[in-house]
A and B are shown apart, each in its own frame.
Chain A
Amino acid sequence: IAGITQAPTSQILAAGRRMTLRCTQDMRHNAMYWYRQDLGLGLRLIHYSNTAGTTGKGEVPDGYSVSRANTDDFPLTLASAVPSQTSVYFCASSSGTSSSEQFFGPGTRLTVL
């Protein structure tokens, strides 16, 4: 693995189903993030984690949950998917220093019908 990987690449999901989007990084970054990207709205932060064992809410957290059991993995769970959660989801990580940029995974395109 090099950088950040996300799975699945794309998914079509029935409304009401539970779904977990996976994110793994091998850069030993402390901080990890989940964003959704919708046309005309840009990237919006869903949840973040500054270090393993801690998580926080971003701008649009409702309907989503995260966990950070270790440094490398940061899964995002939709407990009961709704059509408004149709979006492209990006996971990102950074070393956590003030000047550090965020590195983005390739994204997961999710469609909820």
Chain B
Amino acid sequence: GQNIDQPTEMTATEGAIVQINCTYQTSGFNGLFWYQQHAGEAPTFLSYNVLDGLEEKGRFSSFLSRSKGYSYLLLKELQMKDSASYLCAVRGGDYKLSFGAGTTVTVRA
């Protein structure tokens, strides 16, 4: 089975930086994805990591360490529209995605 852990909630101030951690234990590994989900909406793709290291995409960056079973999503220069749930998902050896329960980020003015 798959075990994916991420914090339930985080709060940060507009303009600040927030780091959302994700740890995983899976049967096989074929990549880690981060999705953003606004309340009442569908998840949308943010990033994909399959090799160790940092992937940067504008204000968002994602890091992966396969040996530690660890990833983080870094949100910089936070904006009010970044208030959402952030889902960590791991593609296991069977190529199916397993999702964490999600981290709800609240951005305050």
The chain A residues found within 8 Å of chain B, CB to CB, are: 33, 35, 40-45, 48, 58-59, 90, 98-99, 101-107
- Contact B41 A42, beta carbon cutoff 8 Å: no
Known: A43-B87, A107-B42. A102 touches B97 (CB 8 A): yes
Known: A90-B42, A104-B43, A106-B41. A42 touches B99 (CB 8 A): yes
- Bound complex: CA A98 to CA B56 (Å): 20
A-facing mask of B93-109, CB < 8 A → 1, else 0?
00111111110000000
Q: Which residues of A contact B95 (CB under 8 A)?
A: 98
Cβ-closest chain B residue relative to A45: B96
Q: Which residues of B contact A48 (CB under 8 A)?
A: 96
Task: Determine whether B48 belongs to the interface, using a CB cutoff of 8 Å to chain A.
Answer: yes
- Bound complex: CA A38 to CA B45 (Å): 20
The chain B residues found within 8 Å of chain A, CB to CB, are: 4, 30-31, 33, 41-45, 48, 50, 87, 89, 91, 95-102
Give chain B nearest CB distance to A27 CB in angstroms: 13
- Contact B31 A42, beta carbon cutoff 8 Å: no
- Bound complex: CA A33 to CA B97 (Å): 10
- Bound complex: CA A41 to CA B45 (Å): 19
Given contacts A43-B97, A98-B31, 8 further A-B contacts (CB under 8 A): A43-B99, A59-B98, A98-B50, A99-B31, A101-B33, A102-B97, A104-B43, A106-B42
Known: A98-B30, A101-B48. A42 touches B42 (CB 8 A): no
